[in-house]
Amino acid sequence: MSGLRDDGGSAQDAAYWWLKQHIARSPRHEGTFLSEAEVARETGTSRTPVREALLRLEAEGFLQIVPKKGVFVPPITDEEVRAVMQARELVEDWCVRQVTPAGESLIGELESLLAEQERVIGDPVAFIELDRAFHRAIVRRAGNPVLAEFYESLRDRQVRMGLHAVASEQDRARAVLDEHAAIVAALRTREARAAGDALHAHLASTRAALHLPDVAGWSGLEHPVVDRS
């Protein structure tokens, strides 16, 4: 049961946490099968909470329950990662510029999330959940509910990608903290270009951590100026 969260949570939470940790450390290019009995044995729980945890993770897109065969954790292809990152960059670039100049309430929220990330830096699952909250805060504050809903679907798909990077790269979590701090500092300048540049640097670092091969035609965005007239 190493790596399991010991926070007094339920058996379902324990199974859910162990599964997320296990999936995060699985090679992303390889599909793997798990069984309820295996997870129950590793987490020291019965099969009922394991089944409930598996259903939660299936709904979040981490795995597929295959009747009479077990649980399949599908591979994540470079093409899927690239598509998600490109879509994220389009959405987040527009949103970070929309919220600039940022109010103190947003900056305070982001700084609070940064402090929480620092506190859980050794826990990849909690760290990535807070990473998601950090980016979500910016997207939601931009005020476009259609984009916010679309972005949530992207982040559901990318959580496993981010978990793998943070769990397998020794210094990635610290780099993410520094990059998030740079985004907050750029927002404080009240300059949309500075905020966009900080965001692009962070996403470029994320692509590198995900070991995406270079592809012709990937050049990022051209940093458009947001027209609020």
The pLDDT value recorded for residue 66 is: 93
> 78-210, which class in CATH?
mainly alpha
The pLDDT value recorded for residue 225 is: 45
Whether 191 shows a pLDDT value over 70: the answer reads yes
Same fold yes or no, 11-73 and 78-210: no
CB 167 within 8 A of CB 24: yes
The pLDDT value recorded for residue 17 is: 85
Give the number of other Cβ atoms within 10 Å of residue 60's Cβ: 14
Band of the pLDDT at 56, cuts 50, 70, 90? very high
Quick one: average pLDDT of 155-176?
79
Query: Comparing 113 with 226, which gets the higher pLDDT?
Result: 113
- Find out whether the peptide bond into 101 is cis, omega within 30 degrees of 0: yes
Euclidean distance between CA atoms 206 and 176, whole angstroms: 8
The pLDDT value recorded for residue 163 is: 75
Euclidean distance between CA atoms 160 and 28, whole angstroms: 9
Euclidean distance between CA atoms 37 and 69, whole angstroms: 12
Say what the alpha-carbon torsion angle 21, 22, 28, 34 is, to the nearest 10 degrees.
-140
Query: Comparing 36 with 3, which gets the higher pLDDT?
Result: 36
Domain ranges of the chain: 11-73, 78-210
Residue recorded with tokens 């509910």: 145
Enter the pTM of the model: 0.73
Topology (CATH) of 11-73: Arc Repressor Mutant, subunit A (1.10.10)
Band of the pLDDT at 220, cuts 50, 70, 90? low
Euclidean distance between CA atoms 141 and 135, whole angstroms: 10
The pLDDT value recorded for residue 29 is: 78
The pLDDT value recorded for residue 118 is: 96
Give the number of other Cβ atoms within 10 Å of residue 229's Cβ: 2
